[in-house]
Amino acid sequence: MHLSAAGPRIYLFDGLELDSARFELRRGGARVHVEPQVLSLLILLAENCERMVGKDEIIGQIWDGRIVSESAIAARIKAARKAIGDDGKAQRLIRTIHGKGFRFVGKVGVRGGAAAAAASVDVGPEGAPADATSPVHHNARDGRPSIAVLPFQLLGEPGAHAIVVDALPADIIMDLSRMPWLFVIARGSSFRFRDANIDPRTVGRELSVRYCLTGTIELANRAATVSVSLVDTCDGGTVWADRFRSELGELQQMRPEIEMRIVSALEAHIARNEVRLARARPATELDAWASFHLGLDHMYRFTQTDNARAARLFEHSLARDPYFSRAMGGLSFTHFQNAFLRFADDSDAEMELARIFAHRAVEADRLDPFAHFNAGRSLWLDGNLSESIDCFDRATSLSPSYAQGVYNRGLVRAMAGKAEEADRDLALALALSPLDPLAYAMVSSRALAHIQLGDFERAAEFGARAARMPGAHKHIELIAAFTAQLSGNRADARLWLAKAKAADPNLSAGTFFHGFPFARTRAREIIEQGLLELGL
């Protein structure tokens, strides 16, 4: 986040107020709607009106140093000019220094320091006085959720394991920082808050973050208990909490696993809370990130109607940020679903769109695991299993706790005939994210792996369990049917087949292998036999 050394200020020019503390533009006291990234650009230019701001500096501050095109910068400058009543021809307020950068040339007055902060912070809704805990700013300026991970508190006698108190949250910060959708406060700032009694709302105000992760490590009776809480700094409410236990002597060895589970849980619960917050906002006020999170919520319901709604929300997100990698990935996912579940008549066209948007997402942000995840999915339906696995390897190397990337790699490995590697991946994915919206698919994929391992009974258990889970669709019910058939339980096989056929009367062995293009291995032969026995 970029703020001037003097702290929060209100910049006055051309009848407008640009308030860096409340992060808004006002005309005549009324808020002017401006996209967060454009507003960040305006503040950056106004703060530095005495000099030219170079393109590299703009990229560093507004895009966190990510690679962006000249057209992306031009689009934000154009939007910034429009918001303040300027244009590229007149350049009354923002002047282009060709080939170098831009300068704010309008006459700027400043209300700054403590006065501006008081005017911005101590006023509640409807202009009423607010209490001392009122939040100023919730998320990063570009709309991303934001979080501070505080140093953990040690309960018990310090000893050889006391180092974990700082090491574990530091590891969590490092892993969270790999997630491009999350704004993570650096350790140097968040570790200043060591007081066990610190109010998370204070942390939210001072660091301008929506979320705060706190934790304790209790050492007692040769056991270690790690307790963590994710808090919404706006109201102090707990969004998620959990405990992890181990033998005291195993704490250091368990630390990477505890860290991975915490990071995976944060990814899921922050996203869910962002959906809740976005639902409370008028549609006209949804920024790119809010639209994206709402889109995810519909995307993971796995119905044709919700898939279409998700696509519209991702398009809405891209309309606000044409270079938003995650929204492109979301559109790839929805087009994949159209092809995979035959929601659309032309599945080949849908797969081509899934590929196009996946590739655009990777080009927009090569460090985004979700982009590589969708690239891998678009390759899988074409039967390019080896290349697909490579994409999931890239996704999980960028974010080792990315449960969905681990799951998809396991599924494709199962289709490639690598059963043991597949089952390890799938078990890890479920451990990382037991409440994942794709958990049903992780369990069902274990059924496919256990067919290859020759354990039909265990395969049937996984198949039936998956088919009873939220989100399960016709392919999952069909897997439950043929695994039951292979295990000798024909009654359950017919029951699950009837459910699958009710969802799609045209379901066949051909449609199954269209969605799951197994390599020509013994596993495929066994599945074909099971489907044949079911009359498919």
pLDDT value at position 141? 54
Q: How far is CA 536 from the centre of its chain?
A: 39
**Mean pLDDT calculated for residue range 373-380:** 93
Would you say residue 531 has pLDDT above 70? yes
pLDDT category, 166, cuts 50, 70, 90?
confident
CA angle 484–488–494, rounded 5-degree value: 50
CA angle 193–19–325, rounded 5-degree value: 75
Q: Do 74 and 33 sit in the same domain of this protein? A: yes
- Spatial distance between the Cα atoms of 287 and 285, rounded to a whole number of angstroms: 6
Q: Do 266 and 295 sit in the same domain of this protein? A: no
Q: Of 255, 278, 301, which residue constitutes the final position of a domain?
A: 278
Give the CA distances from residue 50 to residues 15, 20, 384, in Å, rounded to whole numbers and listed in that order. 20, 17, 55
Q: Do 269 and 286 sit in the same domain of this protein? A: no
- Does some domain include residue 407? no
Q: Do 345 and 444 sit in the same domain of this protein? A: no
Q: Of 351, 373, 400, which residue constitutes the final position of a domain?
A: 400
- Does some domain include residue 409? no
Cβ atoms of residues 327 and 305 within 8 Å: no
Q: Is 212 helix (H, G, I), strand (E, B) or coil?
A: strand
- Does some domain include residue 406? no
The CATH number covering residue 238 comes to 3.40.50.10070
Q: Which domain holds residue 157?
A: 146-278
123 DSSP assignment: B
285 DSSP assignment: G
- Does some domain include residue 137? no
Instruction: Tell which wins on pLDDT, 61 or 307.
Output: 307
Q: Do 513 and 423 sit in the same domain of this protein? A: yes
pTM to 2 decimals? 0.65
- Does some domain include residue 139? no
Cβ atoms of residues 351 and 340 within 8 Å: no
pLDDT category, 63, cuts 50, 70, 90?
confident
Q: Do 490 and 394 sit in the same domain of this protein? A: no
CA dihedral 294, 299, 302, 307 (to 10 degrees): 100
Please tell me which of 72-81, 165-174, 221-230, 486-495 the model is most confident about, judged by mean pLDDT: 486-495
- Does some domain include residue 238? yes
Q: Is the dihedral of CA 175, 180, 182, 186 positive or negative?
A: positive
Would you say residue 114 has pLDDT above 60? no
Q: Of 370, 400, 430, which residue constitutes the final position of a domain?
A: 400
Q: Do 502 and 464 sit in the same domain of this protein? A: yes
**Mean pLDDT calculated for residue range 482-504:** 95
Summarize pLDDT for 432-456 with one digit per residue, the tens: 888 788 999 999 999 999 999 999 9
- Does some domain include residue 405? no
The CATH number covering residue 311 comes to 1.25.40.10
- Does some domain include residue 362? yes
Please, what is the average pLDDT of the chain? 85
If one counts every other C-beta atom within 10 angstroms of the C-beta of residue 358, the result is: 28
Q: Do 95 and 172 sit in the same domain of this protein? A: no
If one counts every other C-beta atom within 10 angstroms of the C-beta of residue 129, the result is: 8
Q: Please give the tally of structural domains in the chain.
A: 4
If one counts every other C-beta atom within 10 angstroms of the C-beta of residue 525, the result is: 11
Q: Do 286 and 394 sit in the same domain of this protein? A: yes
pLDDT value at position 24? 81
